Structure 1
Amino acid sequence: MSITVTTWSLEQTSPADLRPAAPVGPDVTVVRSEIPSPEFSRFLYSAVGGDVTWTDRLGMSYAEWEAALGRPGTETWVAYERGTPAGYAELATDGEGTVEIVYFGLIAAFRGRRIGGHLLSVATARAWDLADRWPGLPPTKRVWLHTCSKDGPHAMENYRRRGFALFDTKVGEEPETATPGPWPGAHG
């Protein structure tokens, strides 16, 4: 069985495009996970994407996760609420001045509490200054991401509010796939 999926690609072409969200208070922090950890990244990936059908990385081996996370200019930024992981953003550069927000989202129990706008603001700002942390990489000229009709209902609105502009739309068929979460009874 297949489902129709619309994928939207959005971009910023200047740091001035970023419109930060209002702060969410002292209980929420966003911290870079500076040591690449396949275990932690896989946890974040499945916890955030489990109810919105993220499956593209589930079959990756440990070595493939290490390779993906260990590339120069790849960073994971994690939102915490009172010490508990609430969501994350993964950044990756093409090495030529374009940074993609490859993955972005919140664990279901943390959605709808303004954490997503704050996390996206921080992640986008860190995409713009990525070269400051990675000697040898050129300055960022473009930040982009994609979202699709399988993602949460507020994803597109959050991206637009942060200053991302639509540059491409694609519609296609994908196999309907089961995902590992959330657990029955989990928020979502």
Structure 2
Amino acid sequence: MAIDVTTWSLEQTSSTDLDPAREPAAEAGVKIVRAEVPSPEFSRFLYTAVGADNDWTDRLEWSRERWLGFLDRPGAETWVAYERGTPAGFIELDPQDAGVVEISYFGLLPAFRGRRIGGHLLTWGTGRAWDLADRWSGLPPTKRVWVHTCSKDGPHALDNYRRRGFRVFDVKTETEG
């Protein structure tokens, strides 16, 4: 069956665009930790656990070598949100040319949605995207952070990006199937 899928591309062009979400309550035990060792297996787990019900398929065929090549680049970072020791979601930062950083993937496992973790993780990851050059020699200062989401993603995805200060710069609708 054919369906129309709308994709929104959003951006921030200044670190002052970021409108932080409130953090989850301390008793929730939410911590955000960088996955410092490039691990194709762990990243594939996060990708499939978050994306299964959102129809993420573009990386399912990636080999271990392709995952490692993507993860083990200067400035590339994966940040994982944990709730009391259990992975709840992740955000990937993908530095590109001329001070541009893409949030290549972001999302929560289904059991952790609707609990204030997503806004907190997006705030954290976007803040890190703005200071990538401060931590990695050879990267230009961040001038733009961008992301895309589509109508197949969670029902609150687009609103979460907008609440964090991202602005839509492009909209495309394509028929799939």
Same fold (TM over 0.5): yes
Aligned with 1:96: secondary structure?
Answer: helix
TM-score, normalised via structure 1 length = 0.91
Find the aligned partners of 1:141 and 1:32 in 2 and give their Cα distance: 22
In structure 2, the residue matched to 1:116 is 118
Find the aligned partners of 2:93 and 2:175 in 1 and give their Cα distance: 27
In structure 1, the residue matched to 2:78 is 76
Amino acid at match of 1:23: E
Residue of 54, 68, 71 corresponding to 1:66: 68
Gaps of 5+ in 2: none
Aligned with 2:98: secondary structure?
Answer: coil
Matches within 5 A, 1:1-188: 1-26=1-26, 27-175=29-177
Amino acid at match of 1:21: A
Find the aligned partners of 2:175 and 2:68 in 1 and give their Cα distance: 30
Amino acid at match of 1:155: A
Q: Is the 8 A contact 1:10 1:166 kept in 2?
A: yes
Q: Say what the alpha-carbon RMSD is for the aligned residues.
A: 0.8
Which whole-Å deviations, capped at 9, do the CAs of 1:135-184 have from their partners, x for residues lacking one? 11011000000000000000011000000000000011223xxxxxxxxx
Find the aligned partners of 1:98 and 1:145 in 2 and give their Cα distance: 11
Higher helix share: 2
Q: Deviation of residue 103 (structure 1)?
A: 0.1
Instruction: Count residues in correspondence.
Output: 175
TM-score, normalised via structure 2 length = 0.97
Q: Is the 8 A contact 1:73 1:95 kept in 2?
A: no
Gaps of 5+ in 1: 176-188
* Matched-pair identity in %: 69
Aligned with 1:51: secondary structure?
Answer: helix
Which whole-Å deviations, capped at 9, do the CAs of 1:36-84 have from their partners, x for residues lacking one? 1000000000000000000000001111101111121211010000010
Q: Is the 8 A contact 1:99 1:140 kept in 2?
A: yes
Which whole-Å deviations, capped at 9, do the CAs of 1:64-118 have from their partners, x for residues lacking one? 1011111212110100000100000001011320000000000000000010000
Q: Which runs of 4+ in 1 moved over 2 A?
A: none
